[in-house]
């Protein structure tokens, strides 16, 4: 087989593969957008509350934020380390960095705040 035929076949195979992959990705992205729209429509602006366990990683009283490593928050987010706004500045006073805690988060996602926090026993 001549070299130019091999090059043409390889380019054709790449074009078909990339085109199919792009088409599949586009269809999947459209389906995900539709699912997200349905999820947003069904949850609406309903205030929710979750009780979660975690560990205090940082306290930032100047911006009223606690950075916590927490377990999964069912129906909201997977386990991760992130900052949560505190509903009251008094919440910072009851814990220290490194404490294992149980806390309650309330709000309309993604605008949630810690309303209670206590050291885990």
38-86 residue pLDDT tens = 877 766 678 899 999 999 999 999 999 999 999 999 888 999 999 999 9
Residue 82 and residue 109 in contact, taking contact as beta carbons nearer than 8 Å? no
Report the candidate in 58, 69, 121, 120 with the shortest Cα–Cα distance to residue 92. 58
Q: How far is the C-alpha of 121 from the C-alpha of 116, rounded, in Å? A: 16
Residue 98's pLDDT is: 95
Residue with tokens 């947003």: 40
Beta bridge partners, 117, equal: 103
Tell whether 33 and 55 lie within a shared domain: no
Tell whether 38 and 63 lie within a shared domain: no
Q: What is the pLDDT of residues 93-115, one digit of tens each?
A: 999 999 999 999 999 888 899 99
Residue 115's pLDDT is: 96
Q: How far is the C-alpha of 14 from the C-alpha of 7, rounded, in Å? A: 11
Residue 50 and residue 104 in contact, taking contact as beta carbons nearer than 8 Å? yes
Residue 17 confidence (pLDDT) above 70: yes
Tell whether 59 and 40 lie within a shared domain: no
Coil, helix or strand at residue 45: coil
Tell whether 27 and 59 lie within a shared domain: no
| pTM greater than 0.75 | no
Domain count, the chain: 2
Tell whether 109 and 64 lie within a shared domain: yes
Tell whether 67 and 81 lie within a shared domain: yes
Tell whether 76 and 115 lie within a shared domain: yes
Beta bridge partners, 66, equal: 59, 84
Residue 39's pLDDT is: 75
Residue 61's pLDDT is: 93
Coil, helix or strand at residue 61: helix
Tell whether 72 and 99 lie within a shared domain: yes
Residue 13 confidence (pLDDT) above 70: yes
Q: Is residue 1 very low, low, confident or very high in pLDDT (cuts 50, 70, 90)?
A: low
Residue-number span of the structural domain to which 95 is assigned: 48-119
Tell whether 52 and 102 lie within a shared domain: yes
Coil, helix or strand at residue 76: coil
Which CATH number goes with the domain that contains 61? 2.40.50.320
Tell whether 3 and 28 lie within a shared domain: yes
Tell whether 68 and 55 lie within a shared domain: yes
Beta bridge partners, 107, equal: 48, 112
């Amino acid at each position: 087989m001549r070299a130019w035929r091999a090059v043409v076949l390889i380019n054709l195979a790449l074009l078909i593969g990339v085109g199919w992959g792009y088409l599949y990705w586009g269809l999947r992205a459209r389906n995900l957008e539709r699912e997200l729209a349905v999820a947003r429509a069904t949850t609406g602006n309903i205030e929710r509350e979750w009780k979660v366990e975690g560990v205090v990683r940082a306290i930032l009283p100047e911006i009223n934020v606690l950075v916590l490593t927490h377990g999964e928050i069912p129906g909201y987010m997977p386990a991760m380390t992130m900052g949560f706004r505190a509903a009251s500045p008094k919440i910072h006073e009851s814990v220290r960095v490194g404490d294992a805690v149980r806390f309650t988060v309330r709000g309309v996602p993604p605008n949630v705040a810690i309303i209670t926090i206590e050291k885990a026993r």
